[in-house]
Amino acid sequence: MIKVFCRSFVAGLLSLGLASLSSPGAEAQTQTQAQGQGTDTILVLDASGSMWGQVDGQSKISAARQAVDAILSKWNPADRLGVMVYGHRSKGDCKDIELMVPVSKFDPARIKAAVDGINPKGKTPISDSLRAAAEALHSTENKANVILVSDGIETCAPDPCAAAAELKKAGIGFTAHVIGLDVADPAAKSQLQCIARATGGVYLDAGNASSLTGALTKAVAATQGTKVVSEAPQKPAADPYLGKNIRGVARLAEGLDPISDEDVNWGIYKRAGDEKGEHVNTFYGAPFADNIAPGDYIAEVTYRQLKREFPLKVEKGKQAVLDVILDAGYVTSEGAVAGRAGKVDDVVWQVSDKGGRLVAQEYDAVPRFVLGAGSYVLTLTKGQSKTSKPFSVAAGDASNVQLTLDVGKLIVTSTYAEGGPKVEKDIVVAVYQPSKADGDEGEKVAQEYDAESKFDLPSGSYDVTAVVGEAKGTVRAEVKSGAPTRINVNLNAGVVGIKTDGAQEIDILSAERDLNDERKRISVSYDAAYNVALGAGDYVAVAIYADGQKVEKPFSIAAGKRQTVEIKQ
């Protein structure tokens, strides 16, 4: 859950007149001073554990970093900026609120370093963060405002909306423009909307890094006096849990924020002794609220790779709250390629337990695993390249297991002759370890069948063989990690088309005889016509008929050329 309290995004973002407004004269004096001195802003980031949740294939904290980077690039250097963070040092401490960068002259490098170093893990003290931000802003007479971005609900104080209203009534010009980042819980969204209404701010929704940047831009415009339409209803929405007799809340560990994620499924089964019986219903998302007939049940909670079972008793006229502890943690990895910046794509991620059993498998550039507390091994594979690292998961933790993969791209094309023509079909391209000292072919690494065959390989030397028909060429390739390597295999070959008048077999032999006065068979076909690629050189075609008669005809192949041979009985 991220909370961004900003004053003055762009050209004097947030405007929170925090000086005393006890009289009209004092207010006018304060505004004059603010206009002359610029504005002050505090960027308050919520680093609670839920910020490791994902939106559009990336973690929410990554989305927040991107959005903050975009805002910093537009910041007015004349405006001062500070950074406040909570939940980044302790899992269950509601007092974990730190002013990491005091309100001071705009220093984008220092701010970026602070934001990039945040490791979400704790709770969500929205109320105390609002108070802390207001107190820090109250120490200056400059114009100030607050922008709050959150993905979830307050988990420390009972009512952040009431706290915001109190700050507004205190006469410090407190206005909170609130952005909900991928907020799935209707109660959380209602709470955030209430904070905006209570302070005269606007509420905006954001679903990913791009829309978060857009929402921040709108919030900045609102602080500058531009009319921005709030996405919050004018009046509080009805209690989303009113009339529901079952509510489900899941936490990674005791004392942590409730999980807010649509990937959580709640399978409800009738209890059959201590086992699951008949399936009754499945509810989706966390938290959730719905209705179910009174009775004894077992709830099977599934959260991505994790599955847990819990007893559930629903009594008539009472709301049953299923508040479950999953004893699990989040694991992500931003895999990198050695020698190249950026994420590695087209990959397979696998998690195995300490016994080697496969626990989970993902294919996204940045995977997200929910794993029970314990020890595991994470393996990253791209093509023929693979790397692994052991890691441990503690309940409530969010881990980013960094893996660097040694992999380069080998791209292979083939031609019949130097300079062309290109081989377009019927090709087999194989990659081998270098030939052995005794001359034997090295171990095969990979094989493809495309005119432009592509291989992901660890850095090193390889022998690449291209085969079309009976033509074959081999080239040594040097692959470097993080870089593409292009090679062309010249087959030094042509194509022969042999036509007969009804032969049942066509043999192609070498023209040269060995010491035993025999010619080596190169190829054979059991059709009356035959097209095949052959290496440049001299050959003999032998047509064999049903009556046993054999008719021979010599021919030659030139590289890059087609030869036609006709044989008649």
Has residue 105 been placed in a domain?
A: yes
DSSP conformation class of 51: G
Judged by average pLDDT, the poorest of 23-32, 52-61, 163-172, 476-485 is: 23-32
Residue, of 398 and 464, whose pLDDT is higher: 464
Single out the residue in 405, 432, 466 at which a domain terminates: 405
Give every CB contact of residue 505 below 8 A, 6+ residues apart in sequence.
524, 525, 526, 543, 544
Single out the residue in 473, 490, 507 at which a domain terminates: 490
Has residue 239 been placed in a domain?
A: no
| Six token digits for residue 498 | 């042999």
Please report the pLDDT score of residue 35 as a whole number.
Answer: 41
Has residue 270 been placed in a domain?
A: yes
Same domain, 481 and 447: yes
Same domain, 96 and 179: yes
Same domain, 173 and 312: no
User: pLDDT (tens digit, 9 = 90+) per residue, 221-270?
Assistant: 787 778 999 998 888 777 777 889 999 999 998 878 788 888 999 999 99
Has residue 311 been placed in a domain?
A: yes
| Six token digits for residue 357 | 């059993």
Evaluate if residue 513 carries a pLDDT over 80.
yes
Cis bond leading into 421, ω under 30°? yes
Single out the residue in 490, 517, 545 at which a domain terminates: 490
User: Is the CB of residue 68 less than 8 Å from the CB of residue 117?
Assistant: no
| Six token digits for residue 396 | 């409530």
User: pLDDT (tens digit, 9 = 90+) per residue, 360-370?
Assistant: 999 988 898 99
- CB atoms < 10 A from the CB of 419, how many? 9
Has residue 522 been placed in a domain?
A: yes
Same domain, 455 and 506: no
Please report the pLDDT score of residue 144 as a whole number.
Answer: 67
Evaluate if residue 408 carries a pLDDT over 70.
yes
Evaluate if residue 17 carries a pLDDT over 60.
no
User: pLDDT (tens digit, 9 = 90+) per residue, 68-126?
Assistant: 888 888 777 877 778 888 888 887 788 999 999 888 888 999 999 999 998 887 888 89
Same domain, 484 and 499: no
Q: Among residues 113, 127, 140, which one has the least CA distance to residue 14?
A: 140
Same domain, 84 and 190: yes
Same domain, 303 and 449: no
Same domain, 357 and 498: no
d(CA 322, CA 218): 38
Domains in the chain: how many in total? 5
User: Is the CB of residue 257 less than 8 Å from the CB of residue 49?
Assistant: yes
Same domain, 96 and 144: yes
Give the SS3 label for residue 166.
helix
Same domain, 510 and 442: no
Please report the pLDDT score of residue 459 as a whole number.
Answer: 97
In the beta sheet, which residues pair with residue 458?
A: none
Same domain, 147 and 254: no
Which residue is it, tokens 């942590």?
256
| Six token digits for residue 240 | 């989303």
Same domain, 415 and 431: yes
Which residue is it, tokens 């409730």?
258
- Using CA atoms, how far residue 425 sits from 418, 428, 558, in Å, is 18, 9, 19
Give every CB contact of residue 39 below 8 A, 6+ residues apart in sequence.
7, 8, 12, 13, 14, 15, 79, 80, 142, 143, 144, 145
Has residue 234 been placed in a domain?
A: no
Please report the pLDDT score of residue 208 as a whole number.
Answer: 85
Please report the pLDDT score of residue 37 as a whole number.
Answer: 52
Which residue is it, tokens 């996405």?
231
Give every CB contact of residue 323 below 8 A, 6+ residues apart in sequence.
249, 250, 251
Which residue is it, tokens 């831009």?
217
User: Is the CB of residue 529 less than 8 Å from the CB of residue 499?
Assistant: yes
d(CA 348, CA 379): 8
Long-range contacts of 509-518 (CB under 8 A, 24+ apart): 509/539, 509/540, 509/541, 509/542, 510/537, 510/538, 510/539, 510/540, 511/537, 511/538, 511/539, 511/540, 511/554, 512/538
Has residue 15 been placed in a domain?
A: no
Residue, of 153 and 529, whose pLDDT is higher: 529
Q: Among residues 150, 129, 144, which one has the least CA distance to residue 203?
A: 150
Phi/psi region, residue 315 (left: phi>0; alpha: psi -120 to 50; beta: rest), is: beta
Please report the pLDDT score of residue 70 as a whole number.
Answer: 86
Rg (CA), the chain: 35
DSSP conformation class of 162: H
- Using CA atoms, how far residue 158 sits from 108, 154, 180, 191, 376, in Å, is 35, 8, 19, 11, 38
Please report the pLDDT score of residue 391 as a whole number.
Answer: 96
- CB atoms < 10 A from the CB of 456, how many? 20
Please report the pLDDT score of residue 34 as a whole number.
Answer: 39
d(CA 2, CA 129): 11
Domain extent, residue 349, equals 329-405
516: domain CATH number is: 2.60.40.1120
- Using CA atoms, how far residue 555 sits from 209, 287, 423, 495, 496, in Å, is 67, 79, 22, 11, 9
Give every CB contact of residue 111 below 8 A, 6+ residues apart in sequence.
43, 68, 72, 81, 83, 101
34: domain CATH number is: 3.40.50.410
**522 exposure class (CB count in 10 Å sphere: 0-12, 13-18, 19+):** middle
Has residue 148 been placed in a domain?
A: yes
User: Is the CB of residue 155 less than 8 Å from the CB of residue 257?
Assistant: yes
384: domain CATH number is: 2.60.40.10
User: pLDDT (tens digit, 9 = 90+) per residue, 333-345?
Assistant: 888 999 887 778 8
Q: In the chain, pLDDT over 90 holds for what percent of residues?
A: 55
Evaluate if residue 30 carries a pLDDT over 90.
no
User: Is the CB of residue 201 less than 8 Å from the CB of residue 7?
Assistant: no
What mean pLDDT, rounded, does the chain reach?
A: 87
d(CA 487, CA 220): 53
| Six token digits for residue 564 | 């036609």
Judged by average pLDDT, the poorest of 17-31, 194-208, 277-291 is: 17-31
